[in-house]
Amino acid sequence: MRFLDTPFRQALAVLVVAYVLIDFGIPYIPPLFGVDSAPVPNTVVLQYLLTVLAGLLLWVSDNDERWTEFKRPIQEVLVRPDKRVGRAVLLVAVPVLVAFVTWGRVKPEVTAPPSFRSIHPAPPRSITFQGETMQLAGLENPLRSEGSLEAHNEVGKRVYYQNCLPCHGDALDGLGHYAHGFNPAPLNFQDVGTIAQLTESFVFWRVAKGGPGLPREGTPWNSAMPAWENLLTADEIWSVILFLYEQTGNDPRTWEEAGAEEGEH
């Protein structure tokens, strides 16, 4: 590995390996082991690479000897007469690369710009549901303590397949028939980052009030979720919530004694 005998080349190699791992390794390696993955968004690739680059700069400069060695090829290319051709190539290639990247970022595109929105709206303390005020803080699913869970689940299943299936999908993974038409996409209930993080009262609020009931803060939400309070009864909503948790194997978030809840981005 004579190529890797200078800090400059070593740093370059680490950067390239990091890029390959992030851009190709993350989407393609986990599926080999049966773990779901997907391409990493460009913003995250950039974020990761910048962090790696910062780490590399610290590594090459935390020691005088290494720092001098690291700078040597750069200085040589910039100064030595016999490197004139390489210098000329770099002086053209680097600005061209920068121009190309800049052009790529500013050229007009037909696709919508990346969305920069919060995904976790803060619920109100109370809501008005079909004319009645409901306190959300501390509210539990009433169906868990009355009647047969099985029967409630059956109702929930019927409600889900009659109303939610087209968007949230047969597998409750957010991949219904219409899902691809929406941005933001319908929620994937199988993901541990969705309903598993939420109390049932939060889910009730979201189902009942839908996109129109999202708070003013953080707009535009662009959610296509209907306000189901106009179409379903409270028991039907609670049933479908039971069904969501039962089917995905997730447990709803429970309330702390004092009513505190952890937040997560």
Among 142, 147, 212, 218, binds another protein (CB under 8 A): 218
Restricting to residues 42-101, which ones interact with another protein according to CB under 8 A? 42-44, 47-48, 51-52, 54-55, 58-59, 61-64, 67
Residue closer to another protein (CB basis): 65 or 82: 65
Give me the residues paired with residue 133 across strands. 128
Give me the residues paired with residue 129 across strands. 132
Side-chain half-sphere CA neighbours of 112 within 13 A: 7
CB 239 within 8 A of CB 143: yes
124 lies in the site for another protein, by CB under 8 A = yes
**CA-CA distance, 135 to 132, in Å (whole number)?**
10
Residue closer to another protein (CB basis): 80 or 177: 177
Give me the residues paired with residue 225 across strands. none
Q: Which amino acid is at 259?
A: G
Residue closer to another protein (CB basis): 28 or 161: 28
30 lies in the site for another protein, by CB under 8 A = yes
Residue closer to another protein (CB basis): 12 or 90: 12
Give me the residues paired with residue 132 across strands. 129
Restricting to residues 159-178, which ones interact with another protein according to CB under 8 A? 173-175
Restricting to residues 240-259, which ones interact with another protein according to CB under 8 A? 251, 253-256, 258-259
How far are the Cα atoms of 49, 134, 196, 208, 234 from residue 131, in angstroms, in the given order? 53, 10, 29, 13, 12
**R_g of the chain computed on alpha carbons:** 27
Residue 142 per-residue DSSP state: G
Cβ of residue 46: shortest distance to another protein, in angstroms? Answer: 10
Q: 197 phi and psi, to 5 degrees?
A: -90, -5
Cβ of residue 218: shortest distance to another protein, in angstroms? Answer: 4
187 lies in the site for another protein, by CB under 8 A = yes
How far are the Cα atoms of 94, 165, 185, 189 from residue 208, in angstroms, in the given order? 55, 17, 19, 17
Using CB under 8 A, which of the segments 22-30, 90-98, 158-166, 239-247 binds another protein? 22-30
125 lies in the site for another protein, by CB under 8 A = yes
106 lies in the site for another protein, by CB under 8 A = no
Residue closer to another protein (CB basis): 124 or 226: 124
Q: 64 phi and psi, to 5 degrees?
A: -55, -45
Among 77, 185, 224, 234, binds another protein (CB under 8 A): 185
Cβ of residue 88: shortest distance to another protein, in angstroms? Answer: 30
233 lies in the site for another protein, by CB under 8 A = no
